[in-house]
Amino acid sequence: HANAQTQQPRRRAAVPPYQKILKGFEDVRSVLGQYRKLTLAEKILYSHLDNVEEGLLENTNNSKNIRGNANLKLKPDRVAMQDASAQMAILQFMTCNLPSTAVPASIHCDHMIVGEKGADTDLPNSIAGNKEVFDFLESAGKKYGMEFWPPGAGIIHQTVLENYAAPGLMMLGTDSHTPNAGGLGAIAIGVGGADAVDALVDAPWELKAPKILGVRLEGKLSGWTSPKDVILHLAGLLTVRGGTGSIIEYSGPGVDTLSATGMATVCNMGAEVGATTSIFPFTENHIPYLKATGRASIIDAVKGIAYGSEHYNFLRPDTGCEYDEQVTIDLSTLEPHINGPFTPDLSTPLSKFKEAVETNKWPKTFGAGLIGSCTNSSFEDMTRAEDLVKQAHAAGLRPRADFFITPGSEQVRATLEESATLDSFSKAGGTVLANACGPCIGQWKRTDGVKKGEENAILCSYNRNFPGRNDGNAKTMSFLASPEIVTAMSYAGSTEFNPVTDVISLPGGKEFRFEPPTGTQLPGSGFAIGNPAFLPTSAKPDPNVQVVVDPESDRLALLDPFEPYGEGELKGLKVLYKVKGQCTTDTISAAGPWLKYKGHLPNISENTLIGAVNAESGETNVAYDADGTKMSIPELAKKWKSQGQQWIVVAEDNYGEGSAREHAALQPRYLGGRIILAKSFARIHQTNLKKQGVIPLTFANKEDYDKISANDEIATSGLWDVLQSGGEGKVKVSVSKSGGETLEIPVEHSLSKDQCGFVLAGSALNLLAKKSKE
């Protein structure tokens, strides 16, 4: 890292197209009538409709019932993409042959950077190992005018918060934690690459109008409790499915007590309850954050729309608006929480955690404490953690667990360098990793001797903790907490240590007790810019730039369009696999070492469903062909593909939960998958499947899951009519068992008119390419 260079001229602030957005808002008011009370999320979302009248009235039978009913066709203001998902999004965008993107877009190199020894060695190594991909993304960025943030510049959501997010903006990001920008009053939604391509080519992006789940915050945080605890607690209340189909909108007096970055943390982890996005209203605390990040120039515009009359008040909900559901959290009595292992909604208050460790026989020690990431690396988070480190240092203590710090961006890192916060961490023996995802996305090379398959615990301030998420070891129990709790507990290295009440013994019989942490919300003279090499490329397209993909590459492959649907019902499909239990996008398309094949569909397909448990045998990634031959799931899928045998997967609830990873839809499609029949789906994944021409169906009666086995033969009835009529009608599947018996199973589809078009054309992109030729 170069030294911080505060004197660097700042980039011009990105300003949302407020005039256009407010024009949309006027249309919303005139269509719905001025007495209709709207939530904040509705105001921003509906103001981004391609056609307000059609969006709000014509596609709902009852204009009062927009939420949960209308299919909104939206025009987002901008798109952000991270390096892993950007590859496929850009490869798809390229098939449309356009000279530039229709809306401003940015590319962020963060997911492919390993965390091991520290930024100074990890970053150059990761750049060398991924050069071909970074070069591809950079050249595409330059050619099409997408700002390319190089490796080391920061994690997408932090960079977006510092540079692009603003109250009233609506954006898409090809990453499930895009809602982080809701902390600054933006509607920011995580999508797959194919959805991002909609926005990039100016096609309306479709979303079933979400319900609005209100969370009212009362009181004020104090002591050990931090914004992270709001969402850790809420995840426990709502569970990983509780936010599905909803936007979480925060309100109440407690909102005004939170910092902008604290609100971003809360919104970030709304992804863990399945919410479409989360949003906070504009508050006075947004102003100093915009200033500190060099965007004072947009404050007047924001104030203008925030403080209009009640009727025109765009950045706050209308008084008396209704929420579909409401939860109240009292910040004054909230205590710190620890969530996990293996699922983010297993929430335990800190005071009960020791007991939970004993009851559940969780490990009593933990090997590593990791703070930072896109969720929790604000100046406030880090200075609060530093306060604890300094307290312990003064008592002569060093962390017993390995201690890792991930700054979210170069701005944060450089500022923490200036404030000597990084120095405090290094003195404590902490390792400062690159400004990138690293251990949060399985890119963690552990050097502490924990072997694959060995049970152990870690504590982190990240947002996600599925098995294998951090180190590729499914037996690592990852517990999520605030950076403060992770830091303090790292000094004890014990999961039974409660820093609020417990002491650490010092030599000579003395005892050390932490004082509650204090920190600073924002750096006094704004954020440092840091190393100028980490600034992005220009947003001006340059048609002379060549985007090169080597035909011999094993990392990148240009895309061939999928076959169109054909005609009639689907017949002769076979059940490739019946999945038992949780099936996340990680299960369907694992990350870790596979991330390097994100731009090469045939190669990454070798990981398809390798985490899935066989419902019949209990084995993971073991499939059986009809003759009993045992092989891995991708092997069987490839074999069937080569034989022209198309297939379906049968699964349980919330299939595809976890992330926006579109590879989880592309790979099955590439290997010959036509239908996924599940008890229920995660929203983003369900949409991704349809965009790639795979048909998601749900059991009308969940018990019917028990009636289907691997290798059964499947045919649809009614599907062809549904596709022809644009989504009208019912579908059934007939299941022919190996013994000759045939069953009829009623199923539900969720195909909209447009999505029927995607399926018929073979994919959304096929349809788009066809339309642009017409």
Beta strands of 138-269 (E only): which ranges?
147-149, 170-173, 187-190, 205-208, 211-218, 246-251
Toward ligand SF4, which CB reaches closer, 594 or 720? 594
Position 774, amino acid: E
Kindly state the smallest distance separating residue 340's Cβ from ligand SF4, in Å. 15
Farthest-apart Cα atoms in the chain, separation: 83
Of the two residues 110 and 402, which places its CB atom closer to ligand SF4 in the complex? 110
Task: Count the neighbouring beta carbons within 10 Å of the beta carbon of residue 754.
Answer: 18
Cross-strand bridge partners of residue 511: 505
| Options 188, 264, 275, 374; binder of ligand SF4; rule CB under 6 A | 374
Q: Where are the beta strands (DSSP E) in 219-266?
A: 246-251
Neighbours of 526 (CB within 10 A): 17
**In this structure, are strands 246-251 and 277-279 parallel, antiparallel, or unpaired?**
parallel
Closer by beta carbon to ligand SF4, 155 or else 305: 155
Cβ of residue 206: shortest distance to ligand SF4, in angstroms? 25
Which residue in 149, 337, 307 sits closest to 234, CA to CA?
337
Q: Which stretch binds ligand SF4 (CB under 6 A): 152-160, 241-249, 335-343, 675-683?
A: 152-160
Q: What is the Cα–Cα distance from 372 to 154, expressed in whole angstroms?
A: 12
* Residue 691 contacts ligand SF4 per CB under 6 A: no
Q: Per-residue string for binding with ligand SF4, 454-473, x by CB under 6 A? A: --------xxx---------
Q: Which of residues 699-738 bind ligand SF4 (CB under 6 A)?
A: none
The interface region with ligand SF4, picked from 17-25, 153-161, 634-642, 714-722 by CB under 6 A, is: 153-161
Q: Who's near 477: CB < 8 A, 6+ residues apart?
A: 340, 341, 342, 362, 363, 455, 456, 457, 458
At its nearest, how many Å lie between ligand SF4 and the CB of residue 157? 6
User: Least distance in Å: CB of 240 to ligand SF4?
Assistant: 15
Give residues with Cβ within 8 angstroms of 282, minimum separation 6. Answer: 167, 168, 185, 302, 306, 315, 316
Sheet holding 325-330, edge to edge: 277-279, 246-251, 211-218, 325-330
177 binds ligand SF4 (CB under 6 A): yes
Q: Which of 153, 156, 357, 675 binds ligand SF4 (CB under 6 A)?
A: 156
**Ramachandran angles phi, psi of 738, nearest 5°:** -65, -25
Name the catalytic one among 157, 233, 661, 674. 661
Look-up of token digits 């086995």 = 709
490 touches ligand SF4 by CB under 6 A:
no
Please give the structure tokens belonging to residue 266. 């809360």
Structure tokens at 685: 């994944």
Q: Is the peptide bond before 523 cis (omega within 30 degrees of 0)?
A: no
Closest CB 146 distance from ligand SF4, rounded Å: 18
Q: 209 vs 460, which CB is nearer to ligand SF4? A: 460
Is 78 part of the annotated catalytic residue set? Answer: no
| 343 φ, ψ (degrees, to nearest 5) | -150, 140
DSSP 204: P
CA 716 from centroid of its chain's CA atoms: 33
Q: Are 230 and 376 in contact (CB under 8 A)?
A: no
The interface with ligand SF4 within residues 389-448 (CB under 6 A) comprises 437, 440-441
Both tokens of 424, joined, read: 């405090």
The yes-or-no answer on residue 464 being catalytic is yes
Q: Is 110 labeled as catalytic in the residue annotation?
A: yes
Show contacts with ligand SF4 in window 589-618 (CB under 6 A).
none
Residue closer to ligand SF4, measured from CB, 407 or 634: 407
Task: Please pick, among 1, 464, 674, 683, the residue that the annotation labels catalytic.
Answer: 464
Tokens standing for residue 313: 């008040």
The minimum distance between CB 175 and ligand SF4, in angstroms, equals: 5
Report 88-117 residues binding ligand SF4 (CB under 6 A).
110-111
3-state secondary structure 402-447: EEEEECCEHHHHHHHHHCCHHHHHHHCCCEECCCCCHHHHCCECCC
Taking 3-state DSSP, the helix, strand and coil percentages for the chain, each rounded to the nearest 5, stand at: 35, 20, 45
In the annotation, is 175 catalytic? yes
Q: Going residue by residue from 185 to 214, which x/- string records binding to ligand SF4, judged by CB under 6 A?
A: ------------------------------
Among 105, 155, 247, 346, binds ligand SF4 (CB under 6 A): 155
From the list 29, 111, 446, 555, the catalytic residue is 111
Pick the binder of ligand SF4 from 77, 175, 402, 410 (CB under 6 A). 175
Closer to ligand SF4 by Cβ: residue 264 or 440: 440
Q: Which of 373, 495, 589, 667 binds ligand SF4 (CB under 6 A)?
A: 373
Catalytic residue among 47, 659, 680, 763: 659
If the CB atoms of residues 251 and 265 are measured against ligand SF4, the closer one turns out to be: 265
Q: Closest distance between ligand SF4 and the C-beta of residue 152, in Å?
A: 14
83, 110, 195, 586: the active-site residue: 110
Closer of 177 and 354 to ligand SF4 (Cβ): 177
- Please give the positions annotated as active site: 110-111, 175, 464, 659, 661
Question: Contact residues for ligand SF4 (CB under 6 A)?
Answer: 110-111, 155-157, 175, 177, 373-374, 437, 440-441, 462-464
